[in-house]
Structure 1
Amino acid sequence: MASKSKNPIWAFLASVKLALLLIALLASTSIIGTVIEQNQTPEHYVQHRGEAVASVIQALNLGDMYNSTWFLCLLGAFSLNLIVCSLDRIPTVIKIVRKDNLATNPDRLAKMKLSKEEKIPGTLETAKKEVMQYLHEKGWKTDSRDKEYGTLFFSQKGPWTRYGVYVVHLSILIILLGAVIGSPTVATKILDNREFAFKGGISLPETAQSDFIFSYADEKKIPLDFTVRCNYFDIHYYPGTSMPKDYLSSLTVIEDGKEVLTTTIEVNKPLIYKGITFYQSSYNQIGAAIIKLRETNSGNVHVFPVDPQNYSVTNTWQEGETDAMIRIQSARQTQMPNGQASTEMKIWLMDSDGPPSMFPLMYGSPVIVERPNAKYELTIGPHFATGLQVAKDPGVWWVYTGCALMLIGLYMAFFMSHRKVWAHVYERDGQPMVLFAGHANKNTLGFSKTFSSLTQGFKKPQNNRA
């Protein structure tokens, strides 16, 4: 049977050229995935790219490229290349690590680039003990073997650092495994469980709630094990412009009829619950107005949609232990100083701490209302729907683990080295001698300083004794 090294298929799969080709393909296709907007509707690509380009995007699934079958196959080919490459080369590394360095011919030590010979006072036996004790004191735990002309001592540090590059290989495989585990394509086409991993979204109006989202892949509903409600949406503009500076949504998770979590999300600050992540991705105005009431001391915000067909609806809420209610008494069209038409509403607000408050509220103009035990800021403005991008990625912790392992492997591979020290103790014309030799597979300049310090440190005690 032909050996692995002679097998042409094995040699091809272990080829560095194949690895470089696959890396180039992955890099170039990733650029395509960056240039082409991902997870958009077919109409979006037709509108922004034209029908011809949109048809190519649809045929090659470039709109969801990282979950496409062909891209996952490319990752699989790269993984196979990495595995075979590692299996092909790691036996040689194991042999180097397990090598019997005490079998080294002492004559070779003097020919090494790092070598130093010193005389030792006393007898050969005392010289052996002195060398062994000195190396131990310097942190070099030695093994020894008697030779024809003396005794050879050997010590090494960091032999395991030679595996650093293979730790990096393993970390890449773990990262790729995490990417595959978290792929909606794998979840639907291989596992036949579209709820295992998915990417989708939903547009949720203020005060509305939903227990499902829509998949980006086929726009079908994906149920959630809980309900998410948009309490309110808030947007801030750059002064004097209509350009959004920041926007955020207050979300509440409801499970088994109970509110279990309320938090505010914004761009780069998502909500994560039961492995499902809700990202703030967009917003849109849906027409009808909405009243927002904020208690300035607690910061609590309450939102009440305005029904143009029935202004007299009474909305209630609870502020601490106080029950409160608000109602629009009347509304009339008015004109602002800049000539634009607006709506002025007469608001009736009451809580259990005193008589009701009545005041006018104009579209876009905040009003402060002070109650005996509360202070409210009220505004009336457009009713928004928050756009949420929703993803479930069970492979994310595999990716995090792989990244941590990669840092360890890179540190081993680039900042650590396998260092070896030999010490041959022998006699020359009745004079005990020691020949030190050293070698490092990386950072030879740094190790040469360590070796020089080691040999000079051995010489100094002799001078002191002399």
Structure 2
Amino acid sequence: MAAKAKNPVWAFLASVQLALLLIGLLASTSIIGTVVQQNKPPEHYAETWGKTGAAVIDAFNLDDMYNSVWFLALLGAFSLNLTVCSIDRLPGVIRVVRKDNLGTATEQLLKMKMQHKVQRGGSVETAAQHLLGYLSGKGWKAARRDKEDGTLFFAQKGGWTRYGVYVVHISILIILLGAVIGSPTVAKKIFKNPQFAFKGGVLLPELRSTERIFSYDDESEIPLGFTVRCNFFDIHFYDNGMPKDFVSGLTVLEQGKEVLTTNIEVNKPLTYKGITFYQSSYNDMHRPIIHLTNLTTGKKTVFPVNPEQWDATHSWQEEGGQGMLRIQEARSVPAENGTGTSTEMQMWLMDSQGPPSMFPMSYGRPVIVERPSTKYELKIGPHYATGLQVSKDPGVWWVYSGCALMLLGLYAAFFMSHRKIWAYVHEVNGGAVVVFIGNANKNSLGFEKTLAALAEGFSSKNDSSN
């Protein structure tokens, strides 16, 4: 009977050609996403790409390409292709795994290349009984069927590995689902809930707090549901003036109570209630600020300096009581590099450990103050605002789960095989002969050695029993 013709639309959606086309489009457009910096202000694109280039970037939403409608549509088309392809081919794989291998004609089996013959004395039934026990002892659970000319055994391992490629397909769909769930575009246009998933940022000066950030998409305010405070910002530079590293001390507050305090830096973010804060940038506020670090406890405290009240007294809380700090005197001095001027100050510091300390301090240069049982490091420098990139991605665990599943599927698909063994017991010249026949869909050379060892072991067992 002639095979039923496939629906042409179904055949197109299941085709490898469509998969290759979509993969090529996704790969090539992703290159654009690496060339064009994402989520930058409009003036950045006008300055970098010119007026026409900026217009093209805006028209095709290339400044947030991975959340654009057309890129999500490509992902949707690829998901559809992958789903239809799997549905189309999976029944054939199921038939192979569930095939009645004992129904295979012995003439066909004896023509297979991978086989080893073992001469066995005695009756076919006796040899069959010994063979069944031997295979079971080697971990091969064999089924038996008596034939007109002998007895056929069949055992297999790793049949499930044929589904490895479909596990990979499912894992890709899970990863794509996670990407869609975590897309701000989907949250806004489909879920109608911008707070479900978002990407934005905020510039937060030292000692300032915020309860909201600003969306990269349209600069709209997004409430966090809690408060974040920047306790301090610390930056170090290379000798050439380029930033070496920078750290922000953040505190999360709920209803005015501190619930979490930590430091973040590049590649070391803070995550709270599914919202992640990344150290992204910084900005000079063009005002001075004093950084005080207790070198014994590691506690850091900062005091903004009001140029109009530079000699105000600043206080902080220590374990043994209250500490106080004040600029007693300030004057301009020539800068060390010979160009311009710097500021030199006379400082006054007192805590609960004896009389106050008085010492000089220059702008931008730290000093160490030794107290009876504590050391302090003081530095006065620019007042910074930390630039935080903030995102909420509820699909990230879908992506992680999909990646883990993909590794399992790839391992099964490429490093494991479906191995089959037939053992045909029949009579030749009055004695039993056992033919071991094998087949593997991958690593046939390795399985050939396994089959040879199995046949040799059965032959040795036969010799010892004789």
TM-score of the aligned structures, taking structure 1 as reference length: 0.97
Bigger mean CA deviation after superposition, 10-19 or 367-376: 367-376
Rounded Cα–Cα distance in structure 1 between residues aligned with 2:364 and 2:436? 85
- Aligned partner of 2:298 in structure 1 is 299
- SS of equivalent residue, structure 2 residue 433: strand
State the match for 2:332 in structure 1.
333
TM alignment of 1:8-23, pairs within 5 A: 8-23=8-23
Cα distance in 2 for residues equivalent to 1:132 and 1:163: 29
Where does 1:4-403 land on structure 2 (aligned, <5 Å)? 6-238=6-238, 240-339=239-338, 340-403=340-403
Q: 1:4 to 1:38 in 2, by over 3 A?
A: farther
Structure 2 residue 449 is matched with structure 1 residue 455 = no
Cα distance change, pair 45–441 in 1 and its aligned pair in 2 (3 A): same
CA RMSD of aligned residues (A): 1.4
SS of residue in 2 equivalent to 1:50: helix
Most deviating of 18-27 and 421-430: 421-430
Matched AA of 1:246: D
CA deviation map 1:428-454 (0-9, x unaligned): 232111111110011111111111111
What residue identity is the alignment partner of 1:236? H
How much does 1:404 deviate? 0.2
Aligned residue for 2:431?
431
Contact 2:145/2:151, CA 8 A, preserved across alignment: yes
Question: SS of the residue aligned with 1:394?
Answer: coil
Tell me, in whole angstroms, the C-alpha distance in 2 between the residues paired with 1:133 and 1:23: 51
Question: In structure 2, how many angstroms separate the alpha carbons of the residues matched to 1:410 and 1:4?
Answer: 33
Looking at structure 1, the residues matched to 271 and 357 of structure 2 have their Cα atoms a distance apart, in angstroms, of 40
TM-score w.r.t. the length of structure 2 is 0.97
Identity rate of aligned residues, in percent? 65
Tell me, yes or no, if the aligned pair for 1:144 and 1:151 is still in contact at 8 Å: yes
- Confirm or deny: 8 A CA contact 1:4 1:10 kept in the other structure: no
Q: For 1:321 and 1:420, how far apart are their aligned partners in 2?
A: 78
**Structure 2 vs 1, CA of residues 337 and 36 (structure 1 numbering), >3 Å: closer, same or farther?**
closer
Distance in structure 2 (CA, Å) of the matches to 1:105 and 1:281:
69
| Separation in structure 2 between the aligned mates of residue 81 and residue 50 of structure 1, nearest angstrom | 38
Conserved 8 A contact 1:370-1:376: yes
CA distance in 2 between partners of 1:434 and 1:181 (Å) = 58
Deviates more, 1:310-319 or 1:180-189: 310-319
Give the deviation of 1:4 after TM superposition: 8.0
- Write the distance in 2 (CA, Å) between the matches of 1:392 and 1:460: 66
Q: Structure 2: how far apart are the matches of 1:135 and 1:380?
A: 80
Residue deviations 1:183-202 (CA, integer Å, cap 9, x gap): 00000000110000000001
Partner amino acid, structure 2, of 1:106: T
Q: Write out per-residue CA displacement over residues 130-173 of structure 1, whole angstroms, 9 at most, x where no aligned residue.
A: 11111111111111111112211110000000000000000000
3-state SS, counterpart of residue 294 of structure 1? strand
Larger displacement relative to structure 2 (194-203 or 98-107): 98-107
CA deviations over 1:343-402 (Å, ceiling 9, x no partner):
122222221222222222210222211222321011111111111110000000000000
More deviation in 397-406 or 348-357? 348-357
Comparing 369-378 and 152-161, the one that deviates more: 369-378
Alpha-carbon shift at residue 241 of structure 1 (Å) = 1.8
CA contact (8 A) 1:109 1:435 kept: no
Change (3 A) 1:24 1:370: same
SS of the residue aligned with 2:307?
A: coil
Query: Residues of 1 paired with 2:458 and 2:54: CA distance?
Result: 75
- CA-CA distance at 1:456 after TM superposition: 1.2
- The offset of 1:3, in angstroms, is 8.8
* Cα pair distance change 1:193/1:362, threshold 3 Å: same
State the one-letter code of the partner of 1:315: H
Kept in 2, the 8 Å contact 1:4–1:11? The answer is no
Q: Secondary structure at the match of 1:268?
A: coil
In the TM superposition, what is the alpha-carbon distance from 1:84 to its structure 2 partner?
Answer: 0.1
Residue 224 of structure 1 aligns to a residue whose secondary structure is strand
Q: Give me the whole-angstrom Cα distance separating, in 1, the residues matched to 2:44 and 2:321.
A: 49
Higher mean C-alpha deviation, range 456-465 or range 51-60: 456-465
> SS where residue 333 of structure 1 aligns?
strand
Contact preservation (8 Å) 2:348, 2:357: yes
Alpha-carbon distance change, 420 to 201 in structure 1, aligned in 2, over 3 angstroms: same
Residue number in structure 1 paired with 2:405: 405
Query: 2:419 is matched with which residue?
Result: 419
Is the contact made by 1:311 and 1:330 (CA closer than 8 Å) also made in structure 2? no
How many residues matched? 464
C-alpha distance after superposition, 1:18-40 (max 9, x if no partner): 00000000000000001000001
Q: CA deviation at 1:243?
A: 1.2
Q: Aligned AA for 1:187?
A: A
**Is the CA contact (8 Å cut-off) linking 2:320 and 2:352 kept in structure 1?**
no
CA contact (8 A) 2:279 2:389 kept: yes
Greater shift in the superposed pair: 194-203 or 3-12? 3-12
Report the CA distance between 1:332 and its aligned residue: 2.0
The unaligned stretches of length 5 or more in structure 2 are none
Report the CA distance between 1:341 and its aligned residue: 0.8
Give, in whole Å, the separation in 2 of the partners of 1:147 and 1:65: 65
- 3-state DSSP of counterpart to 2:308: coil
Secondary structure in 2 matching 1:118: strand
Distance in 2 (alpha carbons) for counterparts of 1:385 and 1:311: 20
Q: Which moved more, 1:20-29 or 1:355-364?
A: 355-364
Q: Per the alignment, in what secondary structure is the counterpart of residue 65 of structure 1?
A: helix
